Amino acid sequence: MKSKVVKGVITLVSVVLVVAVCYILFGGYIADYLEKFFPSQDKLPTVTGVTHNVDSNGRFCFSWNTVEGANRYGVIIGKYEDGEWQQDSPKAVEENKYYYSADAEKISVKVQAQDSTGEKANSDWSDEYIHEIPLQEITYDSASLFVSSMLPYKLLKVVNISIDGNVVKTNAIFESNNKVEMYELYTYYEDGITSLQDCIQNKVPFTSIRSHYEVVDYNSADYLLQSNSFIGQMEEYRQQGYTFEVISQHTARAENDNVVYNIYATYKLTKGNEVKYLNNKMVVVLNEESPNEIENYTKKVANPNARVLYEEFCHELEGDEITLAQEMEKLYKQQ
């Protein structure tokens, strides 16, 4: 009995030694053979180059380098609120960018390269990228964070902000219930307003919705300038010899209204070495109804004989209102 056990052990050791020698001598060939007939699943490379951007339409997004073999990307967004980080559930996007609303002082993102066909395994999650909005500076980021706290909707774009006495007047585009609309917002300060920065650094008080309109994708302010015929303060500045340049704009209208359009814009005025900035709302009433066709509509805006203008608001910017306008000018010129 004892001899049988010894023989068994010797046989087992011999087999192990033979297998070990074969692996050392022929392991590469064996691995190639197994890979050929039983291929392992490749793993996509980890995403790199994650960064924060603001596009030419004023929308916030994270972007990253594309990964070869990936046909979509998983995205996890984190928001720092009330001293704690909270993470959203993962989302999938097909492009190498993810748009978000600047509704927190710090926002983080992690990205994963994915292959929905299952041919390749998903990558590891990227390192966490954190974007922090400095509230002590007047930037488009800080202004957007300020405006996003005015309404419980998703902010898409800040068109302009004006200080008018003890009221901050804001024109901004929000998305709510799958509708994208321009909102005219009034935020009231009982103790008056010394600067835009003071507003941005403090909690937003009561904000009222003055009106909201359907957004249309027309560069109406450009066509208005082509007409070289305005009304109100804009016309006064034109007659004084100022030239106009659009640095922020968007157009809106009452739903399915093909006659009345609202042009919200910020203009840069120059005359020699003198520079001014204006926030303006111009109402355009067409003499004849225009179908929702951009060419038909914009030609009428550019033709003084085809429309009537009403200047509903015009405000010359001062102090750090100008700083914000200059920040928005940089974004607008990226188009």
Domain segments of the chain: what residues?
A: 51-132, 140-332
Most distant pair of Cα atoms in the chain: their distance: 118
pTM recorded for the entire structure: 0.72
Give the pLDDT means over successive 10-residue stretches in the chain (335 positions). Answer: 51 52 48 48 90 76 93 92 84 91 83 90 93 82 89 92 94 93 95 85 87 92 94 96 96 88 96 96 91 80 94 96 93 80
Per-residue CA distances from 110 to 68, 86, 90, 134, 141 (Å): 18, 13, 9, 21, 20
Per CATH, the number for 51-132 is 2.60.40.10
pLDDT tens-place string over residues 307-319: 999 999 999 999 9
Residue 16, SS3? helix
